Amino acid sequence: MNGQETPQTETVRAQDLQQGVPERTKPDYALLARLVVRDGKPFKSSAIEAGYSESVASGGLRALMADSNPASEAIRAEEKRLSVSMDRLKPLAINRLYHEILNMQSSNGMKAIELAGKFKETDWFVRQSETNLGILINMSDTISPPDSPVIDVSQE
């Protein structure tokens, strides 16, 4: 052993390295679409989890959709499944806020009350822009205007 390796040992090491490399698999388009669209996870980590290479994950969603029809179709299909009408979503949101308000141990109770008060049906809070107008209108009703713009203090 004079520090030089024989070609046979280099071949063995290359074979050992190849055995440690996972076999390239087909990426899971549906998993990528679910992670990005429904779960809201970052594209790069979602792409790696779905079986894409690091270079594809670094390229971004726009580049993948331009290059891969199956991936773009899966993402569009997931977006269609996710779209929910606002008529169905609003009662769910109100119910969730209601349960958050009722839960005395919740730290989000005050935020839920604030959000629930912003619905036009409840409108519990005075809006800033309306406050200024309301004060001016009330002042004009209660204070009678003077006869002249200059008030003579000496007459009193």
Does residue 85 have a pLDDT over 70? no
Among 82, 105, 122, the domain boundary falls at: 82
Report the alpha-carbon distance of residue 94 to residue 115 in Å, rounded.
Answer: 9
Domain that holds residue 136: 86-142
75 and 92 in a single domain? The answer is no
Give residue 116's pLDDT. Answer: 80
Q: Under the phi-then-psi rule, with left for phi > 0, alpha for psi from -120 to 50, and beta for the rest, what region is 16?
A: alpha
Q: Binning pLDDT at 50, 70 and 90, where does residue 72 land?
A: very high
Q: Is residue 154 part of a domain?
A: no
Report the alpha-carbon distance of residue 132 to residue 125 in Å, rounded.
Answer: 14
Share of the chain above pLDDT 90, in %: 29
68 and 36 in a single domain? The answer is yes
Residue 41 CB burial class (10 angstroms; 0-12, 13-18, ≥19): middle
- 13-32 pLDDT, tens digit each: 555 555 554 555 789 999 99
121 and 107 in a single domain? The answer is yes
| pLDDT average, residue stretch 53-82 | 91
52 and 98 in a single domain? The answer is no
Helix (H, G, I), strand (E, B) or coil at 131: helix
Q: Is residue 73 part of a domain?
A: yes
Structure tokens at 123: 């409108």
Q: Is residue 124 part of a domain?
A: yes
- Between the alpha carbon of residue 99 and those of residues 95, 96, 112, the distances in Å are 6, 5, 9
What angle in degrees, to the nearest 10, is found between the helix axes of 86-102 and 109-117?
Answer: 140
73 and 30 in a single domain? The answer is yes
Domain count, the chain: 2
| pLDDT average, residue stretch 88-115 | 84
**Listed residue (64, 39, 66) closest to 52, CA to CA:** 64
59 and 93 in a single domain? The answer is no
Give residue 73's pLDDT. Answer: 94
The reported pTM is 0.44
30 and 47 in a single domain? The answer is yes
| Cα dihedral across residues 39, 45, 51, 57: positive or negative | positive
| Cα dihedral across residues 27, 31, 36, 40: positive or negative | negative
Does residue 9 have a pLDDT over 50? no
Q: Is residue 122 part of a domain?
A: yes
